Each structure stands twice: as structure tokens, then as C-alpha cells.
Amino acid sequence: MSTRKLTTRIGIAMVLGVAVGAACHSWAGDTAAAKEVASYFSLITDIFLRMIKMIIAPLVFATLVSGLAGMSGAGAVGRIGLKAMLWFVCASLISLLLGMGLVNLFKPGLVMNLPLADLAASSGLKGGDINLKGFISHLFPKSITEAMANNEILQILVFSLFFGSALSWVKGRGHTTIANMIDDLTKIMFRITDYVMAFAPAGVFAALAATITVEGLGILSTYGVLIGEFYLGLLILWLIQFGVAYLFLGKSLGRLTRLMKEPLLLSFATASSESAYPKTMEALSRFGVPQRISGFVMPLGYSFNLDGSMMYQAFAVLFIAQAYHIDMSFAQQLTLLLVLMVTSKGMAGVARASLVVVAATLPLFHLPEAGLLLIMGIDQFFDMGRTATNVVGNSLATAVVSRLENATGAPIDDEALDSEVEAA
């Protein structure tokens, strides 16, 4: 299926998902019945996401090792990694500052006017395990099999760095059998990705239908202002990122934006960065980014460059403080920024990661954990926006690093490639 056809089908699936979800919510009548109906939609989404997770670990391993084996040496790896991390740190700082600035400007939590007596409530989320020491130790896998089974992207990346570097050394001495096998594995994984992505419209439809069936369209109007302010922040963040990327990519940024439509729709509709990963890699390849760079920078970005998630965390913590009329001084907010810069790097592989990070942060500033209940009900809508933003940030970072390496080659002819795929 061509990229344009799949993008169109995903868009149609999103509209149908909202419409069918609204009809089912009206028909169900009560929450229990709505959840029962939604569970059948969720089954389709779960199957699609399971297929996506099935290919993530071997795809990351194959693309990263193949890329490293093609690099000239450790100097190239270090140089690319340094440029990528510089972008990641700057983007993270901008994301946090923007989130904090918008909450201080709009003060969306003040309308809640909640009493501190509600502190007894519990969200059920615990975040005590997310800290710098735990994050550093978690970097290194006890077993690569376990890391792949759990889709621990950062652990797979660490193992792949060792494997790819060793393979490059062996390849330099004339032994190319394993390197050729890894290249073939990469091609196989991209073909499997095409098969899995054919189910994307069904997964997108089911994800939105399930959410609207339970929550109803009213949830969009009830929290409309809060959601609108958050998405305004995401829009500003996108404009900043695209503005900086334009300085490096020039007019070719327009082509990259067009190529990213499909991964963005996928990530937004499913609220899953994993669902967009294969198509993001394909879009970058079409743009002309060498596999050796995209295969290294993208997995790294999944752990260090979650811009949308970081902005959400700053937004959420200060929103909760405002809801309970707890004043946070400038010094406290500065401390919050530094804390989130560290704790957010442990998000990869954590279920409902952004909420868990917020739960870990609230006790540090004596804020009520019960405040999470204010946003948990609509977290799906926040998650859709922040996930799409994460995909945008990582895509731009990879393209810019490629350009800085003077490695962005001639773009692939989309029409020719689509015709070739369809003919095959």
C-alpha cells in the first residue's frame, strides 16, 4: 500500500472512530455498558500494538547494528552522539520552560479551587523507582533476550553499540558474512513492517472509538480550555523546533514535513510512539537520511528526546499546584525544572510514563498525589498530542544531525518507490 493511500485511510479511520464512539456512548446508557463495548474496540487496538511491539526490538537492533558497522569508527559514533545529545538537551530545556511559562500565564488550575482535604484520595500510581541512580543502572541489560522481550529500547541500544562496534572491527578485517546477514535482516524487518502497517487504519479506528465510547464527546468540552492551552503550547513548541530545523535544512524541511504526515497521524491516533517508529524510519530514508544515522539517533531520541512528554510534566505539576492553591516560588519552579530534566530520562519503557514521572515528582514538592485524578480521565487526549510531538522532535533531530554530518543524500523518488512496492 502506498504512503498516500495509507495516510488517507488513517484519516478516514480517525473520523469514523470518533463518530462510532459517540454513537456507542449514546447507545450504552451507563458507564459499565460503555466499558464493555469499549473493551471490544480495545481488543483490536491491543492486537495492532502487539504487532508493532513484535517488530520494534529486532528493527532497532538491525538498523542500529547495520548503521554502526557502516561507520568509519568510534570517532564517528561519538561525533554523531554528541550532536544528537546537544539537540536533545536544548529541546528538553525549551519544552520544560514553555510548559511552565504557559501554566503561569494562563493559570488553568485556579478554576478548580479544590480543598487540601482531598489529599486522602489516591491515584494508584507510584513513581518512587524513577531516579538518577535507578536510571543509570537500568541502562545496562542483564540479558539482551530479556531486554528485547520487554522492548527496553535503551538497553537494546547499549547492547547494539557493543555489537555494532565489534562487527565493524571484524568487518574491517575482511569478515563480512555477519554484516551481510544483518543488512538482510534490516530489509526483512522493513518488509514485515509493511505487512503490519496495513492494519494501522483498524488500530486507529478502534483506539479512538474505545476512548469516545467510555468518555463521550462531552469530555472534550468539559476540559476543553485545559486541553486547548496544552495544545497551544505544543503548537508553539513545534514552531520553535521547525524554525530551528529550517536554519539547517532550508527549503527541504517542507519535503520532510510532507513525509512525516503518516507517522504523525499514527502516533496521534494511537498515542503510541512505537506505532510510528517504523514509518518514521521509512520517512527519514525517503528524505535521504542514511540508515547508519537514523538507526542510531532515533533509538537514542526515544529515551532522551521526549519533548512533548516533558512539556506535559511541567504543565501537569504546576496545574495540580494551582488546583489546590499551593504557591510555588520561582526557586521551587527552577528546582522542578532541574528535577524533571533528570527524572524524565527514565521514562522509556515505563507504562503511562508521563503520569508516573508526575507521580514521582509531586511528593518532592509536597503536592497532593490526588491531583493526578484531575487529569487521569483525559490523559488519553494529552497523550495523543505529546506522543505526536515526541515523533516530530526525534524526526527533526535526526534530519538535522544528518545534515550536520553532510550525510543527507539525494531524496528517494516517492512515486517510483510506491510503484515498485505495489508491483512487488
CA distance 247 to 251: 9
Most confident of 96-105, 109-118, 160-169: 96-105
Using alpha carbons, list the distances in angstroms from residue 270 to 52, 316, 376: 11, 21, 17
Angle between helices 273-287 and 261-270 (to 10 degrees): 180
Residue 233: predicted pLDDT: 93
Residue 45: predicted pLDDT: 81
Count of helix runs (H) and strand runs (E) in the chain: 20, 0
Residue closest to 290 by CA, chosen among 134, 140, 414, 408: 408
- Taking only the tens place, the pLDDT of each residue in 218-227 is 655 656 778 8
More confident of the two residues 254 and 58: 254
Residue closest to 28 by CA, chosen among 225, 289, 209: 209
Residue 258: predicted pLDDT: 93
> What residue type is 229 in one-letter code?
E
The answer to whether the beta carbons of residues 256 and 399 sit under 8 Å apart is yes
- Taking only the tens place, the pLDDT of each residue in 194-214 is 788 788 888 878 877 887 888
Cell of 52: 508493532
More confident of the two residues 95 and 135: 95
Residue 115: predicted pLDDT: 59
CA distance 316 to 358: 7
More confident of the two residues 90 and 421: 90
CA atoms within 13 A of residue 195's CA, in its CB half-sphere: 9
Q: Is the pLDDT reported for residue 334 higher than 80?
A: yes
Cβ burial of 149 (10 Å; 0-12, 13-18, 19+) is: exposed
Q: What is the mean pLDDT of residues 73-87?
A: 78
Residue closest to 320 by CA, chosen among 108, 124, 151: 108
Residue 417: predicted pLDDT: 44
Domain with residue 368: its CATH number is 1.10.3860.10
Residue closest to 57 by CA, chosen among 187, 163, 148, 146: 148
- Taking only the tens place, the pLDDT of each residue in 284-311 is 999 999 888 888 888 888 777 888 888 9
Show the beta-strand stretches assigned E in 155-312.
none
Q: What are phi and psi of 114, to 5 degrees?
A: -90, 145
Q: Specify the DSSP class assigned to residue 141.
A: -
Q: pLDDT class for 259, splitting at 50, 70, 90?
A: very high
CA distance 261 to 276: 11
Structural domain of residue 107, as residue ranges? 3-423
Residue 236: predicted pLDDT: 96
Q: Is the pLDDT reported for residue 98 higher than 80?
A: yes
Q: What is the mean pLDDT of residues 239-259?
A: 94
Of 176-185, 340-349, 412-421, give the lowest mean pLDDT range: 412-421
Maximal C-alpha separation, the chain: 71
Give the predicted TM-score (pTM) of the model. Answer: 0.68
CA distance 318 to 333: 9
Angle between helices 200-215 and 261-270 (to 10 degrees): 40
More confident of the two residues 107 and 124: 107
Q: Is the pLDDT reported for residue 102 higher than 60?
A: yes
Buried b (16+ CB within 10 A) or exposed e, 375-394: beebbbbbbbbbbbbbbbbb
Mean of all residue pLDDT scores within the chain:
79
Cell of 95: 519544552
- Taking only the tens place, the pLDDT of each residue in 371-405 is 776 676 577 778 889 989 999 999 999 999 999 98
Q: Is the pLDDT reported for residue 260 higher than 50?
A: yes
The answer to whether the beta carbons of residues 109 and 356 sit under 8 Å apart is no
Residue 374: predicted pLDDT: 67
The alpha-carbon radius of gyration of the chain (Å, integer) is 22
- Helix %, strand %, coil % for the chain, to 5? 80, 0, 20
The answer to whether the beta carbons of residues 103 and 339 sit under 8 Å apart is no
CA distance 311 to 177: 45
The answer to whether the beta carbons of residues 204 and 266 sit under 8 Å apart is yes
Distance of CA 309 to the CA centre of its chain: 8
Q: pLDDT class for 134, splitting at 50, 70, 90?
A: low
Q: pLDDT class for 344, splitting at 50, 70, 90?
A: low
Indicate the SS3 state at residue 128.
Answer: coil
Residue 123: predicted pLDDT: 46
Residue 89: predicted pLDDT: 87
The structural domain count of the chain equals: 1
The answer to whether the beta carbons of residues 259 and 7 sit under 8 Å apart is no
The answer to whether the beta carbons of residues 394 and 301 sit under 8 Å apart is yes
